[in-house]
Amino acid sequence: MAGTSFTKLKLESKILNGLNTFIRSSLSDPQYKFLTITKVELGQDNAFANIFWDCFDPAIKDSMRPHIAKLEGEFRKTMAEMLSMRAVPEIRLLSDESYEAELKITNILNEDQKKD
């Protein structure tokens, strides 16, 4: 995070909040009920945005991937409406694996406690 400008952090936060608001208010399909944008990382020149998503249910995460890919155009349109930038960043939709990693660590710790 060192060297990241305040403006860039504000822009990432604005995109994160805007896309989550879009998901909650504009997507009526129940399959998106648990979808959340967890993190946004803008490239150095703001030409690309890595958008990390999660649904916090490992059982349905793989089945969500094709549906998430279909939202890329809607996400770019939403970003264009909320940002005052000359060009809207290209989007890379990436699955956020931190929740699964956290569950794995928690399970390991719980098993270790049971052994003691």
Share of the chain above pLDDT 70, in %: 96
- Look at residue 48 and tell me if it is in a domain: yes
- Look at residue 36 and tell me if it is in a domain: yes
Question: How many domains is the chain partitioned into structurally?
Answer: 1
| DSSP helix/strand/coil, 50 | strand
- In this predicted structure, what is the pLDDT of residue 106? 85
pTM, two decimals, is 0.81
Domain interval for residue 77: 6-115
Sign of CA dihedral 109, 110, 112, 113: positive
Low-confidence residues of the chain, pLDDT below 50?
Answer: none
Could you tell me the CATH number of the domain that includes residue 42?
A: 3.30.300.20
- Per-residue tokens: 31: 């399959």
- Look at residue 93 and tell me if it is in a domain: yes
- Look at residue 1 and tell me if it is in a domain: no
C-beta separation of 88 from 76 below 8 A: yes
